[in-house]
Each structure stands twice: as structure tokens, then as C-alpha cells.
Amino acid sequence: MVKKLAKVKRVVATPAGKGNKGSLPNHLLAKKKKNFRIGGDIQYKRDLSRFVKWPRYVRIQRQKKIIFQRLSVPGAINQFTHTLERDQANKLFKLLAKYTPENKVEKRQRLKEEAKDKADGKEAAQGTKPLVAKFGLNHVTTLVENKQAQIVAIAHDVVPIELMIHLPALCRKMGVPYCFVKGKARLGKIVNQKTATCIALTEVKKEDEHDLKTLGQFFDATYNQNSGIRTVCGEPVFGIKNQNKRGRGKKRS
């Protein structure tokens, strides 16, 4: 007995040509409406960058960059961008690392030893404070005014910058070698703080006097005597809208 084949339902193809009102629907290509509710279809990607409220520090960074593009930067502010090269910065931080201030535990231990020596009659060992780097804007400013500082390292990213503008001019007037280094956080690491605006060395050990003198001569030639780093920086760059507006004005004329 031969089995009868099941009848295959044939789908009528859609006639070619657009706008044919008499064409029959093709159920193989039937339009399926997406459902974007919970548990439904996957949401399509949207560009939400214009709707994101960025953190305040990000907005300030971007606004600062735009302002620097729109305005000519005065020489007193532009000089902070001339930081030390990597090799000279490594030499400076290698020297500063030897004069890290003592923490509370070390200071307590030193005072205990001094008290013990005093009780034993050893007066010569009393009052020998370790040689350390000096930090803090007010403290360093006083040291420069009294010509006690031998070199001064200034952070390039202090905010607000108005706090530090006077210090380079004061160093030049008093003949104290100074330099700009990248990162107030890196300076703060030297003195056991989160950040430090500036660091000064007033006295070093005998074996480090040659390094201090070499760095001082380099800083004096690069920053104190070089007036080129204090020139006005660049022409202002207008925004794209202003550029298009100016371009339209030129075409009309």
C-alpha cells in the first residue's frame, strides 16, 4: 500500500513592485512588533553621554581645559607647565627621599632615647634633631624670605594656582634656586602627607652637598635666569560654533 503524501501548503509569493494594493501578504516575512517591557526583547543601545551628569571634578577639569584654549595664558601661570625632565626629577626626588621627616613613632622613640641619655649624664647627645625637608607653603615662604632655603621644589598642579604664584617671583628675588615638578601627590609622599604644595631643603649631610650644589646650579640656569618660561602662551582657539559663525561672516563679505 503506497502511503499518500501530505499536501504541502504553498505560500503565495508577494508580487514584485512597490505600492501594489492588490498584493497578498507573505507570512514568512511577517512584521513582528518588538516588546521592550520587562522580560521582552533586548533594549537597543542608546547614546546616553549627553544625559549623564559627570562628577564635579570631571566637569572642572573639562572647563579648565576649555578656558586654557579660549584665553591666552599669562606668563606667571604658564611657567607652571615647564616641569622638570624625568632624569632631573629622579635626581631631585632621590635626594629628597633621604630627608623624609620622621613620623610620630620615630619622634617618640628619639625623645625617649634623648631622655635616657640625659638621665645617664650624656648631655652631648641631647638636642640633635635629624636633617629633614621642610614643607608647607607658609613655612617655605618664610625660609625663602630669610634666605635659609637652598633649593625649592614647587608642584605644578596646585589648585587654586593663585596660592603659588608669588613663590617663584620671591625665589628669583632672593636668589633661591627653584623648580616645578609634576604632582603634588608625589611631593606629599616625600613628607608623609597626601599632598604637598612645595618642599625646601635648608641643610644636607656632607655626602649630599655635591648633589645639592649641582641641582641648584641647574635650577638657577633653567628657571631663575631663564625668562623664556614666563612668556604669554599661545593665541586663543575659538569653539566650533564660533568658528562656523566667523566663517559665514567672511563668506558674506
Q: pLDDT for 11-70, tens place per residue?
A: 555 555 555 555 666 667 777 888 988 888 998 888 888 888 889 999 999 998 888 788
Confidence at residue 69, expressed as pLDDT on a 0 to 100 scale: 84
- pLDDT tops 50 at residue 126: no
pLDDT: is 33 or 126 the higher one? 33
Q: In angstroms, what CA-CA distances link 28 with 15, 18, 107?
A: 14, 18, 85
Q: Which domains does the chain have, with CATH numbers?
A: 83-103+131-226 (3.30.1330.30)
Mean of per-residue pLDDT scores for the chain: 84
Confidence at residue 72, expressed as pLDDT on a 0 to 100 scale: 82
Q: In angstroms, what CA-CA distances link 118 with 59, 102, 112, 129?
A: 58, 21, 10, 15
Mean pLDDT of 111-138: 79
How many C-beta neighbours within 10 Å does residue 189 have? 17
**Amino acid occupying residue 136:** G
pTM of the prediction? 0.65
- In this structure, the dihedral spanned by the alpha carbons of residues 156, 182, 157 and 63, taken in order and rounded to 10 degrees, is 110
Confidence at residue 215, expressed as pLDDT on a 0 to 100 scale: 94
Confidence label for 7 from pLDDT (cuts 50, 70 and 90): low
Confidence at residue 107, expressed as pLDDT on a 0 to 100 scale: 83
